[in-house]
């Protein structure tokens, strides 16, 4: 357990450092991320360009810093939005049960029966490559899993004796949800949010790498990977910088979620991680 807590602290430190560097990009980046310098294209690592330049002479280090802002913000907003949709449907389904539960679960099963990647590609293909279509595709393909976990946790909590006692005393449904049920499942939701954000980041990177997500010349890690493909053999550093950033953030979130799971409730949270 001590080893896992140290790993969690290290992961949180790495994640915090990357987030801090991305937020401070306008002040610590040496160049404009979109500044083109064709006379200095594909230059190797040097004192002037710490990570070299790309095929248009743009500073890779500056683009990497700014790229974190787009990747982290989009994955964070998409994950939270997905959580809100799934959380709302899950808590209503688990609390009211009956016809409400049956109706909502039918919708959940429909969305879970559609292959996620196929649906994402279809949505982005119909709406066109953009941040909005990418955001919508992620939310529509991910909320059902959140809802299923939240529903199960709510069904467990609401049969507890103290919930029944509160209901007998005349407490409203809103009061019971806000004061008792939501705080009781907050730990589960936090673990699920952390794990899911890691996967959302990889989804965004995959679609953007295919040219269906974030579009050039926006500085983004996945866009940088896509732009660097033709130069993998001659200038591998163009792919190393964004690739390491994506892998580090994703791995840090997974380790952090694993640490939170063990810290909160090892037996109960293992099921949450398996579903996520």
Peptide bond into 217 cis (omega under 30): yes
State pLDDT tens for residues 152-185: 888 888 878 888 788 888 778 788 888 888 888 8
State pLDDT tens for residues 70-89: 888 888 898 889 888 888 88
CA angle 226, 15, 205 (to 5 degrees): 20
Contact between 58 and 35 under an 8 Å Cβ cutoff? The reply is yes
User: Confidence class of residue 269 from pLDDT cuts 50, 70 and 90?
Assistant: very low
What separation, in Å, do the N-terminal and C-terminal C-alpha atoms of the chain show?
22
Over residues 223-232, the mean pLDDT reads: 83
Q: d(Cα 104, Cα 99) in Å, to the nearest integer?
A: 9
Q: d(Cα 53, Cα 31) in Å, to the nearest integer?
A: 11
**pLDDT at residue 258 tops 50:** yes
Q: What is the pLDDT of residue 265?
A: 60
Specify the DSSP class assigned to residue 181: I
User: Confidence class of residue 204 from pLDDT cuts 50, 70 and 90?
Assistant: confident
Q: Round the average pLDDT of the chain to a whole number and report it.
A: 82
* pTM of the entire predicted model: 0.81
């Amino acid at each position: 357990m001590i080893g896992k807590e140290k790993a969690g602290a290290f992961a949180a430190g790495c994640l915090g450092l990357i987030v801090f560097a991305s937020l401070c990009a306008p002040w610590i980046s040496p160049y404009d991320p979109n500044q083109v310098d064709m006379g200095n294209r594909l230059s190797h690592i040097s004192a002037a360009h710490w990570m070299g330049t790309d095929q248009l002479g743009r500073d890779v280090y500056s683009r990497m810093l700014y790229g974190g802002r787009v990747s982290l913000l989009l994955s964070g907003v998409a994950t939270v939005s997905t959580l809100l949709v799934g959380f709302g449907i899950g808590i209503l389904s688990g609390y009211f049960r009956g016809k409400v539960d049956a109706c909502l679960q039918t919708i959940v099963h429909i969305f879970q029966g559609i292959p996620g990647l196929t649906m994402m590609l279809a949505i982005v293909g119909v709406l066109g490559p953009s941040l909005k279509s990418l955001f919508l595709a992620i939310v529509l393909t991910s909320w059902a899993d959140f809802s299923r976990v939240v529903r199960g946790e709510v069904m467990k909590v609401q049969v507890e004796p103290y919930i029944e006692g509160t209901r007998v005393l005349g407490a409203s449904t809103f009061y019971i949800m806000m004061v008792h049920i939501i705080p009781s499942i907050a730990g589960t939701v936090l673990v699920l949010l952390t794990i899911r954000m890691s996967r959302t980041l990889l989804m965004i990177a995959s679609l953007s790498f295919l040219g269906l997500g974030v579009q050039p010349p926006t500085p983004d890690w996945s866009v940088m990977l896509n732009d660097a493909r033709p130069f993998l053999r001659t200038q591998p550093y163009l792919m190393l910088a964004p690739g390491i950033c994506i892998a580090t953030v994703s791995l840090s979130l997974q380790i952090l979620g694993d640490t939170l799971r063990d810290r909160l409730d090892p037996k109960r949270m293992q099921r949450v991680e398996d579903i996520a």
